Structure 1
Amino acid sequence: MIQVDLNSIAIDARGLPVVLLKPSVPRPDLRVFLPIWIGGQEATAIMVALEGAVLERPMSYDLMARLLDAMDARVEKVAVTKLEGGTFFAEITLDTLTGQQVIDARPSDSIALALRVHAPIFVAEEVLREAGIQEGELTDAEEEEQVEQFSEFLDTVDPDDFRG
């Protein structure tokens, strides 16, 4: 497993949100970004966590974090573990009173939770090698344009769309 950082969140050419993960420690043999396409609500949840924004009502991921805290459990790590048929799979590893528990999850949910509880994010090396984009394939201008497009999306989204 390779520890990664959330490098950026952007909108692709089709208008779909994508997170870009990058190894935390540069490796000459693995200079890649891993793009994972996610839903709009998950993208908003990730941006809220990145900005440290406090909403009037908790989002699902805030609720998850509070529930884990109330149960004396903590997120040890999240990991993108495999890629099958174009779908990424992830796991959330919890440290609980009854021992370690591993929960199947979507990468977008895992990342949104990890950002809230400050848990490390990992990706299986074979997933990075299979689905990663070589550094340099995405120009600074393209990355900047994607970030700008996502910012425009956030400007138009209504927070009430995400209230339960």
Structure 2
Amino acid sequence: MLGVRVEMPTNNPIVLLRERDGGRYLPIWIGAAEAAAITYAQQGVVPPRPLTHDLMRDVLAVLGHELTEVRIVALKDSVFHAALIVDGKAEISSRASDAIALALRTGAKVLVDGAILDEAAIVVSSEEDDEVEKFKEFLDHVSAEDFEKPEGGGDDPQRPQS
């Protein structure tokens, strides 16, 4: 999984899953609350009180059960459907975003049905993939000060004028 991104220009959050042994990406549009829950889990943020996905993880643990894996099992009317696999056998229907948020908290695998990848995944060439990685690296190290105008507020004297 690459994580949560915001699609421009609509500002809709998506979670972007990456095929483990291939160049396909599966974008899943999600709600803002689920985007926050996924981002918190990825960043290791521990809220002062358990969020819904933390509660579900804790309930499973206290009852002696384990979330074995999450499966993205269907795409109907542009909506992804998932299943929580508990103890390797029990299957519970779930929204894809909730399933992913819970998987991140439990360490469970996230699997996507091959037919869904064939239908909805996007293919990124290795060149484009390298550019995506370079851009992500840049974003990890850039700060707001990097975009300030030079003293005097004029254009950058290093930049050629048109």
Q: Which TM-score band applies after superposition, normalised by the shorter structure? A: 0.7 to 0.9
Q: Alignment partner of 1:67: what SS?
A: helix
For 1:135 and 1:56, how far apart are their aligned partners in 2? 39
Look up the match of 1:140.
Answer: 132
- The residue correspondences of 1:4-83 to structure 2 (distance < 5 A) are 6-13=1-8, 14-24=10-20, 26-27=21-22, 31-83=23-75
- Superposed CA RMSD in Å reads 2.1
TM-score of the aligned structures, taking structure 2 as reference length? 0.76
Unaligned 5+ runs, structure 1? 1-5, 149-164
| Deviation readout 1:27-80 (Å, 9 max, x if unpaired) | 4xxx21000000000000001000111111110000000000011000010010
- Deviation >6 Å, runs of 4+: none
TM-score of the aligned structures, taking structure 1 as reference length? 0.75
Q: Alignment partner of 2:104: what SS?
A: helix
2:104 to 115, 131, 138: 115
**Percent of aligned pairs sharing the same letter:** 35
Query: How many residues align structurally?
Result: 134
| Structure with more relative contact order (C-alpha pairs < 8 Å, separation 6 or more) | 1
Unaligned 5+ runs, structure 2? 141-162
- Aligned partner letter, 1:20: L
Structure with more strand by fraction: 1
Contact 2:70–2:83 under 8 Å retained in 1 = yes
How many angstroms does 1:89 deviate by?
0.6
Q: Alignment partner of 1:54: what SS?
A: coil
For 2:18 and 2:132, how far apart are their aligned partners in 1? 15
